[in-house]
Amino acid sequence: MDSFCRKMYLGESFNALVIVLNESSNTAKDVQLKVELLTPTDKFTVLSPQVTSHLDSGGAIEKVVSHEIRSMEDHTLSVAVSYIHQTGEEALIRKTFRLSILKPIDVKTKNRVVQEEGDILFEFQIENLMNMPIVIDHFVVLPAEGCTVVLQDYLDEANTDTSVFGVNKWVKPRDTRQQLFRITPAVWPDPVSTKDGRNYTSIVIGRVDITWLSAYGERGRIQTSNMTIKVDRTGDLLAQVSSSPGTVEIEKPFKITCLLKNLRFVIHVLVHLLVYLQHIFQQKNDEVAVPV
């Protein structure tokens, strides 16, 4: 085989047919074939050394090798064949084939909304970076310890066949798909205050696991590391949808009822009252009647 450069995507399985062909007029003895995948930091044995006692002229050895690509590093397929020549001398042939690894899917986070009961509505965006359409076969969040994660993309939570996407799971190249989840932390970590007076809490929600199918039926899979989100729990306003229709028709208006709460008003009143009391008590040491 001639050397080549092939592009693959992270999460795909590399499959190849390795052929050793005896093009000489002599019989080769003790033919040993070994196949490895090499990266700058790792070495994987794809095919352990296998010995064929003899390979006649015109004969061939065929082996199918497979390996799941789990690193963005460039891979090099190394094929080594050793044998004993008719003269009794040992010979070694080594071929290398380069594989360039590309990023298949970009996962982004968006729209973190903290609800009054302590849940977080959280949106993931999946962008198809490949040059072919894919089918999202499996998309889940593997929750971190202490977190509960529920997918919210169903019209009926009791029926997983009622996805807002319908039966269409195709994602075209450079297209983006959104997935909405409800995250419930068992314990809220202590917030960190910033200079602008806001309190942010960092929560580890878990890992994202995605499986897809290409147009040719080839399966790919990626899993992110634990993802951390930063949530602002000192928002000024809280918006909630109190009622909405279960289904709507395209290009027709529909009604929803929203509830808007001002979370800052009470806090501002208390702060101003405390400042007023502190000012009064600094002026007088006796009992003070505070106007309301």
pLDDT in tens, 4-18: 457 889 999 988 899
pLDDT of residue 292: 41
Report whether pLDDT(103) > 80.
Answer: yes
Measured distance CA(270)–CA(288) in Å, rounded? 18
Measured distance CA(174)–CA(128) in Å, rounded? 5
- Split at pLDDT 50, 70, 90, the class of 2 is very low
Find out whether 257 and 248 touch, Cβ atoms under 8 Å: no
Mean pLDDT of all residues in 242-261: 84
- Split at pLDDT 50, 70, 90, the class of 201 is confident
Measured distance CA(47)–CA(34) in Å, rounded? 6
Residue with more model confidence, 110 or 278: 110
- Split at pLDDT 50, 70, 90, the class of 271 is low
**Residues above pLDDT 90, as percent of the chain:** 32
Looking up tokens 């963005």, which residue turns up? Answer: 72
Residue with more model confidence, 101 or 1: 101
Measured distance CA(143)–CA(122) in Å, rounded? 13
pLDDT in tens, 43-88: 999 999 889 999 999 999 999 999 999 999 999 999 999 999 888 8
**pTM exceeds 0.75, yes or no:** no
Other CB atoms within 10 A of residue 79 CB: 22
pLDDT of residue 288: 43
pLDDT in tens, 133-181: 999 888 888 988 888 888 877 666 555 555 666 666 789 999 988 888 8
Find out whether 232 and 188 touch, Cβ atoms under 8 Å: no
pLDDT of residue 240: 73
pLDDT of residue 111: 63
Measured distance CA(45)–CA(209) in Å, rounded? 26
Other CB atoms within 10 A of residue 196 CB: 6
Measured distance CA(37)–CA(9) in Å, rounded? 15
pLDDT of residue 31: 94
Report whether pLDDT(221) > 90.
Answer: yes
Q: How far is CA 235 from CA 2, 42, 114, 188, 228, in A?
A: 62, 47, 9, 16, 20
- Split at pLDDT 50, 70, 90, the class of 116 is low
Report whether pLDDT(189) > 90.
Answer: no
Mean pLDDT of all residues in 252-274: 68
Of the chain, the end-to-end C-alpha distance in Å amounts to 90
Listed as own residue / partner, the contacts of 223-229 with beta carbons closer than 8 Å and 24 or more positions apart are 223/142, 224/107, 226/144, 227/109, 228/202, 228/203, 228/204, 229/109, 229/112, 229/120, 229/122, 229/202, 229/203, 229/205
Report whether pLDDT(29) > 90.
Answer: yes
